[in-house]
Amino acid sequence: MKKRPLGNSELYVSELSFGCMSLPQNKIAAEEIIETALQAGINFFDTADLYENGKNEQLLGNLLTRHRDKIILATKVGNQMNQDGTSWSWNPSKNYILTAVKDSLRRLQTDYIDLYQLHGGMMEDDVDETIDALETLKKEGLIRQYGISSIRPNVIERFLQNSAAVSVMMQYSILDRRPEEWFGMISDFGASVITRGTLAKGFLTMDGFHRAKKAAGFGSYTSSELQETWTALNEKTEDIHAAAIAYNLSTPAVSSVLVGASTKNQLLDSVLAYEKGEDASVLQDIRNAVKLDRYAEHRTNYKNATNS
């Protein structure tokens, strides 16, 4: 599997990466999925302290500890669990981040985190304090690099402009092209994109038409538009799943495409789709056949926003 640099950093991540949020809590089933990912050449694993209230990190730590020197391990911070254990509050403060990282390190059974990501963000945040916390952790060797997970252009711009962040995780797919307008900005700041939601909740798989018939819609697409779009895409490509992954990887701004799986077979489907790929001419036909929406809110006037 090919690798790409994460922003301007020394970290090289597999083009296909594994999002651990849907990893089953059953250790045997989870281990089978993780081993399948490793055998396929996936080296980038992403989790968050919020997932399963820390249990996802703990499970991942148990499964990856013997492979630690071969993988790029990412987690996220900023959502502090409340006392009830079922809800959380946004907390990007320095004190919280410096405490939360120690809990993540313990659960992940590691001395350092390769990529530590701010799990959201608002313009009301004291971004300088947050960045100071991340820079402190980097100097102490507890994290190698840091980034942000956000879909808000103004939040992303301010964070990148004031920091040495190397990545932005964003929901991006053939059915949600809103991030494309901001890829130039992200690249200008020396960062790259990690895409989540690449398969658009399964609508961009061979089962997508049946899913669309049962759904109320997706993004700006109504249910009928989803069905029509899936049919149009199916006429342009032999494998919508493969095209969805190849589409995201067709832009240099993207370093890795994050996929999730709750079974070994689901992951294998994505690995095979990645290996199959799609021709550039087909991807251009697909690009011309779908909407190019833009974020209506949280905009910025950055000079290198894409005009197309």
Tell me if 225 is assigned to some domain. Answer: no
pLDDT less than 70: residues of the chain: 306-308
Q: What is the pLDDT of residue 82?
A: 82
Tell me if 146 is assigned to some domain. Answer: yes
Q: What is the pLDDT of residue 308?
A: 44
Q: What is the pLDDT of residue 105?
A: 97
Tell me if 17 is assigned to some domain. Answer: yes
As for how many domains the chain has, the answer is: 1
Tell me if 29 is assigned to some domain. Answer: yes
CATH number for the domain harbouring residue 115 = 3.20.20.100
Catalytic residues: 51
Tell me if 213 is assigned to some domain. Answer: no
Tell me if 206 is assigned to some domain. Answer: no
pTM: 0.95
Which residue range is the domain that position 104 belongs to?
12-201+241-277
Q: What is the pLDDT of residue 204?
A: 97
φ/ψ (deg, to 5) at 148? -140, 145
Tell me if 54 is assigned to some domain. Answer: yes
pLDDT tens-digit series, residues 204-247? 999 999 999 999 999 999 999 999 999 999 999 999 999 999 99
pLDDT tens-digit series, residues 9-26? 999 999 999 999 999 999
Q: What is the DSSP string of the chain?
A: --EEE-TTSS-EEESEEEEGGG--S-HHHHHHHHHHHHHHT--EEE--TTGGGGHHHHHHHHHHGGGGGG-EEEEEE-EEEPTTSS-EEE---HHHHHHHHHHHHHHHT-S-EEEEEE----TTS-HHHHHHHHHHHHHTTSEEEEEEE---HHHHHHHHHTS---EEEEE-BTTB-GGGGGHHHHHHTT-EEEEE-TTGGGTTSTTHHHHHHHSSEETTEEHHHHHHHHHHHHHH-S-HHHHHHHHHHTSTTEEEEEEE-SSHHHHHHHHHHHHH---HHHHHHHHHHS-----SSS----TT----
Tell me if 49 is assigned to some domain. Answer: yes
Question: What is the identity of the amino acid at 298?
Answer: H
Q: What is the pLDDT of residue 57?
A: 94
